[in-house]
Structure 1
Amino acid sequence: MKAPAFWSHGQTSCYAKLLAPLSCLYNQITTSRANRLADFKADIPVICIGNLTMGGAGKTPTAIALCKMLRRLGKNPAFLSRGYGGSLTGPVFVTTAHKAVEVGDEPLLLRQHAPVCVSQNRIDGAKALVAHGADIIIMDDGFQNPHLHKDLSLIVIDGGFGHGNERVFPAGPLRESLQNGLGRTDLAILIGDDATGTTERLHQIKPDLPILKAHIRAEENPVLRERPCLAFAGIGRPEKFFDTLNQQGLNLVGTEAFSDHHLFHANEINSLKEKAKNSGATLVTTEKDFVRLPPALQDGIETLKITLDFEQADMLNEHLKQY
């Protein structure tokens, strides 16, 4: 789904007020569940990467960056995912033969860096990873899931969006209240410039919360400089991707935004390819969108690879060394 405009930072709306009773109920249910004592503690550490809002905030690039850091520390990390959007309940280890409709899109990206177990039951997934030989688990999402004990809980925040209007779903983008979510947070990672005063706001609620800053770095793709570009994306905030392309100095002649985790149909991709052809442009999308495309439709579509750089990498390293 696309986030409604009234979810944005600083917005007031009669819709938010009308939905307030439902938000109260949703928050009570989520809070009660999230604050439960964990059912199971794995034999190896579990680092959970989550967020407090609906939609994408940068969890997957954060998970990949942490995986690389842990490898440099001599660890053997593996990923645990519920495989959002996939049909397999697991536990199943992701292979090159799997498709996004089976395991979700994030696991296909994560698998390029470490083993990935998709399991809707996080406990069973953790047990499978221990048996597989991992010595530390990176859990992609699951911050509100109470079943598996987390040794370190990180939340990822989109600096351009913050926490929106700070209301709980459906009146706003929050999965739970800021106060409750921050109570379980060990470390926050703010990606991009802080456009909404998030750092100050978080420290008002939890003064001692470590907040690390990070920035998305796009890798050079020479093909994208040869011709104009037509971009499309079905992620949490497609405009972030389009802004990144503009920041690269590319000639962006058009954009098409789809809902998060959108499963593209052949007619949609063929239509986009036709538009690109008519404008003499290269069709470009995100890595996450690309892996959701059937192989037969991937031809002729470029991607922009991204990396997450931390401003205080040494501080994060010190946190990870504890595990």
Structure 2
Amino acid sequence: MKLSTPRWWYVRDGAPAPVSRALLTPISWIWAAVTARRIAHTVPIDPGVPVICVGNLTAGGTGKTPVVRELLKRLRARHVDAHGLSKGYGGSLAGPIQVDPARHTAAEVGDEPLMLAADAPIWISRDRAKGALAAGWAGAQALVMDDGHQNPSVRKTLSLVVVDGETRNGEWPLGDGSVFPAGPLREPLDVGLARADAVILMMPSDLDAPDPELVALFPGKPVLVARLAPVAPPPSGPQVGFAGVGKPWKVERSLQAAGCDLKDFAPFPDHMAYDEATLQALADRAADFGAGLVTTEKDWARLPAAWRARITAWPVAAAFEDDTALEALLDLALRP
């Protein structure tokens, strides 16, 4: 069973769930120790090409995959044959295998790789080292790894961590500093940050600037601000939205901020596999309002083929405020 991301993770004082956090804290100590041991004792392989890792310090959605897409786009615009590398979370295939959008489904390769494969060569492999080597042998001149900041099996040329930059409504993207499952952090903040070359703060489109208190948590690291910008306006007319992503409530806010006439919104766990009954219930709910159905590109990739014509995918892209700073990081990664 897939579980939703707990919203109490993102409250700094832990007030909504102090008992839950206290009970889970000993498990978080074990989690952090196991992660640290794995990183310390793994010898990374060198695939022979630059590897740019786009990772997370936290569990849950931060906008990491749109950053991967943007980096692939920029590298390929430089005539660098850049390939993406993913674990293929949620897919049945172990890999390494190159994703073929005409042949593979999200159930086989995962939703994010299937979505990215529309724009660039994407490889999935549960063993990241084998996947990196396979991509290199296939002619990749650079790799952009989707997730993997805590995976030490591949030598990284450039490590970027994406952090949710929204701090309103009582939420704090790093919670109170607790490690999973007591909080959202995958490892202690200082430990994860030490391996990062730069931080990307993913800001909502309707907030002007990141909270200085949040930026201050990343001393000595370049901090780039990016936003998830709509590629196109949301569909016209009344809509019922739904999303199975790390933080589905942010999709709801984004649709509203973009001017969508949103009548209702249904949140689901990340990587939700939509069955016929669930989709029919959503369709019935939309019919109650005389509305259409709208969801994210990532969710749309998981829909059965028969439902795709009935549901609109609303694409977003990562837009960086300082292109010069981003291009300088790419120069650094590609330097011989």
Q: TM-score, normalised by structure 1?
A: 0.95
> What amino acid is the match of 2:77?
R
Counterpart CA distance in 2 for 1:36 and 1:151 is 19
Alignment counterpart, residue 218 of structure 1, candidates 215, 230, 239:
230
Counterpart CA distance in 2 for 1:153 and 1:74 is 22
User: SS at 2:264's partner residue?
Assistant: strand
Aligned to 2:113: 107
Give % identity: 39
Counterpart CA distance in 2 for 1:191 and 1:157 is 6
Counterpart CA distance in 2 for 1:31 and 1:107 is 27
Question: Could you tell me whether the CA contact under 8 Å between 2:9 and 2:175 is conserved in 1?
Answer: yes
Aligned to 1:134: 140
- For residues 82-93 of structure 1, the aligned pairs below 5 Å read 82-93=87-98
* 1:265-305 per-position Cα deviation (integer Å, ceiling 9, x unaligned): 10000111111122111100000000001101222101111
Aligned to 1:173: 184
User: SS at 1:201's partner residue?
Assistant: coil
Question: Could you tell me whether the CA contact under 8 Å between 2:245 and 2:270 is conserved in 1?
Answer: yes
Aligned to 1:183: 194
Q: Which moved more, 1:160-169 or 1:140-149?
A: 160-169
Question: Could you tell me whether the CA contact under 8 Å between 1:6 and 1:16 is conserved in 2?
Answer: no
Counterpart CA distance in 2 for 1:197 and 1:281 is 41
Aligned to 1:56: 61
> What amino acid is the match of 1:144?
Q
Question: Could you tell me whether the CA contact under 8 Å between 1:162 and 1:196 is conserved in 2?
Answer: no
- For residues 30-49 of structure 1, the aligned pairs below 5 Å read 30-49=35-54
Q: Is 1:150 aligned to 2:156, yes or no?
A: yes
> What amino acid is the match of 2:251?
F
Question: Could you tell me whether the CA contact under 8 Å between 1:159 and 1:196 is conserved in 2?
Answer: no
Counterpart CA distance in 2 for 1:176 and 1:196 is 23
Structure 1 gap segments, 5+ residues each: none
* 1:92-145 per-position Cα deviation (integer Å, ceiling 9, x unaligned): 111021011110001011101110111111111111111211100001011111
Q: 1:70 to 1:315 in 2, by over 3 A?
A: same
Aligned to 2:277: 267
User: SS at 1:35's partner residue?
Assistant: helix
Question: Could you tell me whether the CA contact under 8 Å between 2:91 and 2:108 is conserved in 1?
Answer: yes
Counterpart CA distance in 2 for 1:119 and 1:228 is 40
Counterpart CA distance in 1 for 2:73 and 2:226 is 15
Question: Could you tell me whether the CA contact under 8 Å between 1:191 and 1:216 is conserved in 2?
Answer: yes
Flag as ranges the 4+ runs of structure 1 deviating above 4 A: none
Structure 2 gap segments, 5+ residues each: 167-171
Could you tell me how far 1:71 is from its partner in structure 2?
A: 1.8
Q: TM-score, normalised by structure 2?
A: 0.91
Aligned to 2:83: 78
Q: Is 1:276 aligned to 2:286, yes or no?
A: yes
Aligned to 1:242: 252
